[in-house]
Amino acid sequence: MTPDIFLDYLNGVNWISITDHNTTRHIELYSKVLKQIDVKVIPGIEVTSKEEVHLLIYFENLDDAIKFGNIIENNLIIKDYNPEKLGYQIICNEDGTFSSIVENPYFGSACSLSINEIYLLSKKYNSLFIPAHIFRFNGLITNLGLPPEDIIIDAVEVKNKNEIEKAQKIGFNNFIFNTDAHFPEQLIPSCKILAKDRSFASFKESIIESRVIPIWQH
């Protein structure tokens, strides 16, 4: 999903979060490209915890996201990987050409930090802590059965009405709805966020006050 191709698939979206798996290396470039067409970017990351639970963390500042991303990368458990088997990890340029290949660590790896450790680390920054696809593969509830104690979860990601009902029974009240797009053609708008403006503060407020309206994909 290089920037030159990505732009053709945005379908009227004007607010987007970039949450690569276990790295924040591409956010700056994409933010720059998207700024040119007035699409606001929320810097984020999808971290794989020690328990192999996928966690979305959204940041107010790009610098915070990058610092956090570096810590996660340093804690990934698979250091050396075989690109012939797993695919090359390419860092690209604005025009879609590649500038470098990351040989280590493997971004598809879990990290050595527990959910609680990742939570505490994320809260050193102005961020939102949102477990991804909680009822699916690598989801919080699928992998751990119950939400961990001592963590204040800002919202959870769900995929349909049935999942909202299940999540409400567990005690979750705030939801987000993402594309989980891994390919450009999957970049379909996933929700409408009713907000004063496209600032992080408004994003946070809208999530906490349940002003996120799903556009169901499934």
Partner 1 sequence: MTLKDILKHGFLESIYIFNDNIEIKNGYVGDLLSEIMRNSPSSSIWITHQTHPNIIAVASIVEANTIIIPIDFDFEIETIEKAKENNINLLKSKYDIFKTVGLIYNCLFGE
Q: Which residues bind partner 1 (CB under 8 A)?
A: 48, 51-52, 77-78, 82, 85-86, 108-110, 137
Closer of 104 and 199 to partner 1 (Cβ): 104
CB of 55 to partner 1, least distance (A): 14
CA-CA distance, 163 to 40, in Å (whole number)? 28
What are the distances in angstroms from CA 68 to CA 38, 80, 106, 122, 151? 26, 21, 17, 7, 18
Distance, CA of 39 to CA of 198 (rounded, Å): 9
Q: Rounded to the nearest whole angstrom, what is the least distance from the CB of residue 114 to partner 1 in the complex?
A: 12
Minimum distance, C-beta of residue 78 to partner 1, in the bound complex (Å): 5
Q: Is 107 or 203 the residue whose CB approaches partner 1 more closely?
A: 107
Q: Which is nearer to partner 1, 11 or 82 (CB)?
A: 82
Q: Select 132 or 176, whichever has its Cβ closest to partner 1.
A: 132
Pick 83 or 96: Cβ nearer partner 1:
83
Cα–Cα distance measured from residue 216 to residue 34, given in angstroms and rounded to the nearest whole number? 24
Q: Is 38 exposed, middle or buried (0-12, 13-18, 19+ CB in 10 A)?
A: exposed
ω into 184 cis (within 30 of 0): no
Hey, what are 126's tokens? 């102005």
d(CA 55, CA 34) in angstroms, rounded, equals 24
Selection from 45, 41, 174 nearest residue 121 by Cα: 45
Kindly tell me which of 51 and 94 has the beta carbon lying closer to partner 1: 51
Shortest spacing between CB 100 and partner 1, in angstroms: 23
Q: What are the residues whose beta carbons fall under 8 Å from the beta carbon of 139, sequence distance 6 or more?
A: 53, 54, 131, 132, 133
Q: How far is the CB of 143 from partner 1 (least distance, A)?
A: 9
Q: Smallest distance, Å, CB 117 to partner 1?
A: 16
